[in-house]
Structure 1
Amino acid sequence: MNELIDNILAELDVDITNINIYGYDIIEFSLSMVHRLQKALNDLRIKLQTHKFSTKEEEIFFFKNQKPELLSRLLYFHKIYCIEVQCPTGGNDVIKLYINKELDNLTYFFNRNLDFYQYYRSHSTIYDEYYFLRGNTDLRLYTDSTLLDKDPNFSTGYDYKVAKILANEMLRIYLNKKLQKLENESYIEKQYQSISTKIPIRFTGKKAALIELGYALVSSGDINHGNIEIKEFMNYLSTMFNIDLGGYYDAYIAMKERKDRTSYLNKLIENLSKRMDEDDRR
């Protein structure tokens, strides 16, 4: 059992390390992780039907430490998926307000479960037989009715609470880093706005041309190592060149439908080659 869980966690950690969790594909990645973890936990549930723990200490260790490690990751990625798909559209201030509300929810859970949190974090063991042995749960120790319908062969009730604590700690880190990223973007945007008022650099070509260039740069993977959303980059270009690039997606659709899809990029190549040829003749 120990080897099985260690192998699953090792594989998960490799996948998590190889992806930018703050990147544009976090929704698809988190959903795939949810499906993967659900399967892993279901496989573990099936194995536990025939597995007999040699001692009560071994069973306590499983429900206090091993199962929560897997379950916490499931809760973590499921919550990330929900947060990201429900994230409101709008400026950074709107998104920061949304994230702060999610952080408040974590604080609410912490305050509501303070006694058990302190018990778990202090590595206390005095109530472990009630908390982490199947069939020994004392209803007088908790009032959360949602625990009553847990699978009695695969849960003691409190293994879920441990997993929730671990998941919330990971979520707090995720949300705070996301919040910091937004604050940094807001600061940079203000700096660019300040610069643009002092140095009047404008893009005087057609709006569609700048949108074509923006899509090309994002598609190249050369902006932030490919970890940037088209919306974020269009906002950046809008600020840098003091131009409204709203409706960029409609312009992109029109670009795909025209005969010369990359007309502006082709024009850039032509003009640069012409300049080089003129320099050579001088």
Structure 2
Amino acid sequence: MKEEVDKILEQIEVDISEIDLYGYDIIETSLSMVHRLQTVLYDLRIKVQTYVFPNKEDEILFFKTQKPEILARLLFFYKIYRIETQCPNGSNEVIRNYINRELDNLTYFFNRNLDFYQYYRSRSTMYDEYYFVRGKADLRLCTDSAQFDKDPNFSTGYDYKVAKIIANEMLRIYLNKRLVKLESNNQIEDNLQRCFKYPFRFTGKKAYLIELGYSLVSSGDINNGNVEIKEIMNFLSTIFHIDLGDYYASYIAMKERKDRTAYLHHLIDNLVKRMNEDDMK
């Protein structure tokens, strides 16, 4: 069992390493990872139902280390999906406050579970038999009502708490990097405002500019493809003095249109028309 789970974890890490956590498609990507990790855990649950651990140490290893590592990544991507889909539209200040509230929620969790957190992080093993062996939970130790809702054949109650600790630590790193990138975008906007003394205004529909923005990012022709959709949208919003609003919702609507790239076709038609007119002069 140990070797099999280690291989599963290794493949998961390879897949995660290929994900751009701050890319424009993180909502779709995180949801896809949630579904995949749910399947992994379901398959593992079926195997554990009939598997007999050779000794108590192997069972503790599974529920203290291996299963929580997989479950933590499921919780991590699910939380990213929730955070990004519920992120408010508005100024960078509004988004910054939203992210800081999420960070406060993580601090609240750690404070509530400080004793168990210290036990786990100190690599203590004194109570492992009660925390990580099925059917051994002692309600006087670090009680958690969540254990009553778990499959007793696939959970000790505290493996979930370990997974939550790991997921929240990953999430803290993710959110802090989001704040750093937000500050970077603020600097870019300030520089653009100083550079463009005579502002240009985009007088077409917002959806057109959003389509153009997604096209530029998808082309890979800006910064060798190292650019996020949010950065492009902020750039276009700034230079054209227009609030693009919920551009992701517009992108979803764009995918559902009969002509997905209507504006790009419009640009092509008008450029060809101009060239033909020039040829006739």
What TM-score do you get using the length of structure 1 for normalisation? 0.83
Cα drift, residue 228 of structure 1: 2.9
Distance of 1:268 and 1:236 partners within structure 2:
24
Aligned-CA RMSD value: 3.3
Structure 1 residues 182 and 70 mapped into 2: Cα distance closer, same or farther (>3 Å)?
same
Provide the residue aligned with 2:95 in structure 1: 95
Provide the residue aligned with 1:235 in structure 2: 234
- Name structure 1 gaps, 5 residues minimum: 278-282
Checking the alignment, whether the CA contact within 8 Å between 1:72 and 1:163 is kept in structure 2 is yes
Matched ranges for 1:255-274 at <5 A: 262-265=265-268
Distance of 2:47 and 2:261 partners within structure 1:
58
Provide the residue aligned with 2:26 in structure 1: 26
Provide the residue aligned with 2:216 in structure 1: 217
Structure 1 residues 181 and 246 mapped into 2: Cα distance closer, same or farther (>3 Å)?
closer
- Name structure 2 gaps, 5 residues minimum: none
Q: Does 1:2 align with 2:2?
A: yes
Identity of aligned residues (%): 60
Cα drift, residue 149 of structure 1: 2.3
Checking the alignment, whether the CA contact within 8 Å between 2:68 and 2:163 is kept in structure 1 is yes
Q: Greater Rg, structure 1 or structure 2? A: 1
Checking the alignment, whether the CA contact within 8 Å between 2:64 and 2:162 is kept in structure 1 is yes
Provide the residue aligned with 2:190 in structure 1: 190
Provide the residue aligned with 1:244 in structure 2: 242
Distance of 2:130 and 2:270 partners within structure 1:
74
Q: Which runs of 4+ in 1 moved over 6 A?
A: 257-260, 269-275
Checking the alignment, whether the CA contact within 8 Å between 2:189 and 2:234 is kept in structure 1 is no
Query: Residues 104-163 of structure 1: CA distance to partner in whole angstroms, max 9, x if unpaired?
Result: 000000001111111110111111111111111101113322222211111111111110
Structure 1 residues 262 and 49 mapped into 2: Cα distance closer, same or farther (>3 Å)?
closer
Matched ranges for 1:109-148 at <5 A: 109-148=109-148
Partner amino acid, structure 1, of 2:123 = H
Distance of 1:182 and 1:55 partners within structure 2:
50
Provide the residue aligned with 1:280 in structure 2: none
Distance of 2:165 and 2:260 partners within structure 1:
51
Checking the alignment, whether the CA contact within 8 Å between 1:220 and 1:226 is kept in structure 2 is no
Matched ranges for 1:56-95 at <5 A: 56-95=56-95
Distance of 2:175 and 2:90 partners within structure 1:
18
Provide the residue aligned with 2:178 in structure 1: 178
Checking the alignment, whether the CA contact within 8 Å between 1:34 and 1:74 is kept in structure 2 is yes
Correspondence for 1:200 among 198, 201, 208: 198
Structure 1 residues 5 and 56 mapped into 2: Cα distance closer, same or farther (>3 Å)?
same
Q: Secondary structure at 2:140's aligned position in 1?
A: helix
Distance of 1:213 and 1:78 partners within structure 2:
30
Cα drift, residue 217 of structure 1: 2.6
Structure 1 residues 217 and 272 mapped into 2: Cα distance closer, same or farther (>3 Å)?
farther
Checking the alignment, whether the CA contact within 8 Å between 1:31 and 1:77 is kept in structure 2 is yes
Cα drift, residue 227 of structure 1: 4.5
Q: How many residues align?
A: 270
Cα drift, residue 238 of structure 1: 3.5
Structure 1 residues 234 and 36 mapped into 2: Cα distance closer, same or farther (>3 Å)?
closer
What TM-score do you get using the length of structure 2 for normalisation? 0.83
